A and B are shown apart, each in its own frame.
Chain A
């Protein structure tokens, strides 16, 4: 049977199927539907230094083969997370990757120092790409800011660091390079695409926050393109996310160059999906005569010029 282990610099995982931040709650909510031990990793919802109420409803609206969300990082803050969620998460038979966001490098440093006390965490993913929060959370639109935040975090925390980047820029490659230069162990591509929905009869935006992030199968082609661009030009492992809902989708991302993937929106409408995909992956790899996941990663063959 194919070996499903994947290694992304300092981060080792038993398989490449993770569940994405903000689309798996704090794991507690999904216990009825998923055997956590089958997952490559769990990334709970983004945590910020201070509690945040989040945006007014409606916070989501379905669109064609996708959805818009403007949750607005609704969370109870890092201290609450550590006190109330972390014990439970760390008791699960699955690697846990915390996900954090701050307004500035100083806040990321605080977060880093607090999480550094938990070496049981597999890694920390930096959400520097949330489109739903005004006031500078979008570091990943700027290479210098990306580099600054990632190195600040790395210097204050011994855990492997993953930078989660936004597609809402002209050139993600530049940003990914900055993250790599700053010492990130991997980059996660992509966060949601900024979008909008309108009720023309009422002349009103549908989301309480006016704009929101697009996710789901509708964004898969964009995610694949960005994963491929970064994986083929920047020397850093890529975790692919965006619209994955089937085993074929997973394999497309691996072939494009992703070393691992995350299941996001699909968990909303198929609660047990991620564990099933992890179960089925080895069968396909066996059929493809791959001994390990790395045998298929980045195997895309381009047309001759």
Chain B
């Protein structure tokens, strides 16, 4: 059963539109960055929100696929006119997307979901990413460091964190995507790879554990990545008493709350749990509310 009120991720101003591919570049092995012109979505989207994308020419694949906002980009007048996202090729749709050329059209609807909390109440914000789960953090970091604003009207932070770090783990160096994009003034970037081909050898959770044990431990953690990794991050945060939010990558069929396929188990006040729709109640949840 699913409570249908106070849906934090239901966006009353979302739009369905035809987007146009204006850039399509490799970011890493099997990983591409797409830039899509779609002003109605770009103008209002916030860090941690997502959109659904599909190819209107085919019905196999048929359903849209969810992708997180990597960043918006501006047109000649200085207004956001499009969105960028990074994707890793894992199946039918992402394989098809690799054939999209500049000028091609796609169907896109959004912005969807709640996004990460406004980073105005924290001193040391730690972003923790596993694999392609890094994509939401470019916009999060830019906003938290005062380099870019998002939303309509533009969201102005009343307070900025003193420090923002990104701990980013990947399988190996060749999968580290868009590191140049993350060369942002003030962002403390740390890398880990499973095989040690770049940065720390081991899990990204080890980088986080070291940070928590360090001199200025985070007072907030935003995390996105594979579920076992997010569960481990949630445990570390809980042990240290640090607020932690997870962005789930639950498979979705519609992205806006009408199919009830994207459910995750959310704890209720009475200690039991209930299935909740990730797309309209998330995708970002306080870690302690989830049954992982």
Contact = CB atoms under 8 A, between A and B. Distances in A.
B254 A59 contact: no
Nearest to B256: A29
Interface residues of B, number: 39
A31 B254 contact: no
Contacts of A38: none
A54 B260 CA distance: 9
Interface string A54-80: 100111101011110101001111001
Interface of A: 22-26, 28-33, 45, 51-54, 57-60, 62, 64-67, 69, 71, 74-77, 80, 84-85, 216-217, 245, 267-272
Contacts of A245: 59
A269 B63 contact: yes
A204 B62 CA distance: 24
A76 B276 CA distance: 12
A271 B16 CA distance: 7
Given A32-B15, A62-B62, A74-B1, A267 B260 contact: no
Contact of A74 (B59, B62, B260): B260
Given A69-B261, A74-B2, A76-B2, 7 more contacts: A29-B7, A32-B12, A54-B263, A71-B259, A85-B4, A217-B62, A268-B258
Contact of B62 (A24, A51, A66): A66
Given A33-B109, A58-B251, A28 B10 contact: yes
Contacts of B7: 29
Given A76-B2, A269-B62, A71 B256 contact: no
B10 A59 contact: no
A268 B62 CA distance: 10
Given A28-B10, A29-B10, A64 B258 contact: no
A29 B63 contact: no
9 contacts: A25-B259, A29-B258, A65-B59, A69-B261, A71-B260, A76-B4, A77-B1, A267-B254, A269-B64
B256 A74 contact: no
B57 interface: no
Contact of B1 (A25, A32, A53): A53
Contact of B263 (A23, A52, A59, A67): A59
B111 to A, nearest CB: 10
Contacts of A53: 1, 274-275
